[in-house]
Amino acid sequence: GGVYCATKAAVNAFTTAARKDLCDTPCKITTVSPGFVNTEFATVRFKGDAEKADAVYKGMKYGGPLLAEDIADNVVYALTRPGRVQVCDVLVYPTCQASAKDIARE
């Protein structure tokens, strides 16, 4: 809930400030904001209950949630751009996701 939203806002403010502070250096600042990713997070959230964890992703259309490899691919993309290119923000969702709450399910 509220703490999660506050931390997201804090990360956004910090990265924007860092980008401004480091503007006169070759440092690049990138924020990666993934949507639904199938990781161990759901299992931890539900204290090891695999059935509840699997239900989080159940019925998601068009291939389901993102995988850790999808996010890693985006990170590699951002890191391998030429020196003149800074990828500031990466917002990546699975095909069936339009926002934090809008997910197409079967």
- Examine the residue annotation and report whether 8 is marked as an active-site residue of this protein: yes
Token digits of residue 19: 């980008």
- Examine the residue annotation and report whether 47 is marked as an active-site residue of this protein: no
* Separation of alpha carbons 5 and 7, rounded Å: 5
* Separation of alpha carbons 32 and 35, rounded Å: 10
- Given the residues 8, 20, 52, 61, the one annotated as active site: 8
Positions marked active-site: 4, 8
